[in-house]
Chains A and B, each alone.
Chain A
């Protein structure tokens, strides 16, 4: 009986070991921000707040922050100055006690609107939602990403990691095939990068606009010809959570600029 137990335990160990090998994640010392793959011109655009186009959304966000709804309170009425949000965005997605699951920053803003402002939720990728998340994210610029420190998130991070490792779509590719195994290569001439979401919402030159991490993830899913997750799908938040947790310790760049 004991022997059988030992055999099954060592089998388990082998399985755990081999699954680790298959999924070769990027070593902490090798992690790079997407910014390091960009041209010096695009880096300069990101680093100069007077030319970073994402700052237009941040300015919009400042106006929204203090705007009082007809009934209810403005963001500033409870939170004070937006600078009070310093250190908040770098913890998201974060565990929500009431919902008993992780919520991303967009969902947190909308929960706040519904629960405390008597306002309807803002639409996915709407100008106002991007403006508020850009404003909140900007307050943490330069701070290390902390997402995933809460142990209640671990099961959700693991699910997101599984999704990252799972092949999908007509092209049958997993995120890991490009972003862990081939980040130093070029896909049709474009740098692949390591999928560290250090600057969302980002101003993407290809979009000519600001967009969330979810928009970027949908782009990739459509790229491999998979069915993209909807914005409020639990799988989407789990994937965001895994990606942010693998960027833990890297500096936040919001609002970043990307090609």
Chain B
């Protein structure tokens, strides 16, 4: 399973427009199609809710602000290991954001960004989290919906 995932990483890097359906092991994970550096279609056809997405981004449980900062003036503790989320929606399309959330390691194997919608190929996962993705398909869509609202001021 791991080698297939890695192999498809190489393929998608080489052929930008190649469409691949990713095999997914854990039963609650839905399959998705990668096109170039994006997942164009919403996971499980879910409709994202931007305000629910903001609540996820600022909730420490979901880990975003451990590394990122952003336009969250009410949040005292924000990280600086990763770029600010401000203007994210101007830099990336919804599909690009979706792939970066689902499995950023596909685009950069050395990234420290966790894969938020993945449950395979991980080592020594704690019992409480075994076989589960960090975010559900609906939560991924909520965060994508929120991040697309973060536009650079024009």
Binding site for B on A (CB under 8 A): 166-173, 177-178, 181-182, 185-190, 221-222, 225-228
Contacts and interface: CB of A to CB of B under 8 A. Distances in A.
Q: Is the interface of A mostly helix, strand, loop or mixed?
A: loop
Nearest to B118: A172
A178 B78 CA distance: 16
Given A173-B114, A182-B112, A168 B81 contact: no
Contacts of A170: 114, 122, 125-126, 129, 132, 134
B76 interface: yes
Contacts of A189: 76-79
Contacts of B134: 170-171
Interface of B: 60, 63, 65-67, 76-81, 105, 112, 114-115, 122-129, 132, 134
Given A170-B132, A171-B63, A172-B114, A227 B126 contact: yes
Contacts of B65: 188
A186 to B, nearest CB: 5
A120 B77 CA distance: 45
A186 B78 CA distance: 8
A169 B112 contact: no
Given A171-B134, A188-B66, A225 B125 contact: yes
Contacts of A190: 77
4 A-B pairs with the lowest CB-CB distances in the bound complex, closest first: A189-B77, A170-B129, A168-B124, A188-B77
B123 to A, nearest CB: 5
Nearest to A182: B81
Contacts of A173: 112, 114
A68 B73 CA distance: 59
Given A170-B114, A187-B79, A225 B105 contact: no
21 contacts: A167-B122, A168-B125, A169-B122, A169-B123, A169-B125, A170-B114, A170-B126, A171-B63, A181-B112, A185-B81, A187-B66, A187-B81, A188-B65, A188-B77, A188-B78, A189-B79, A221-B126, A225-B125, A225-B129, A226-B123, A226-B125
Contacts of B112: 173, 177-178, 181-182
A171 B81 contact: no
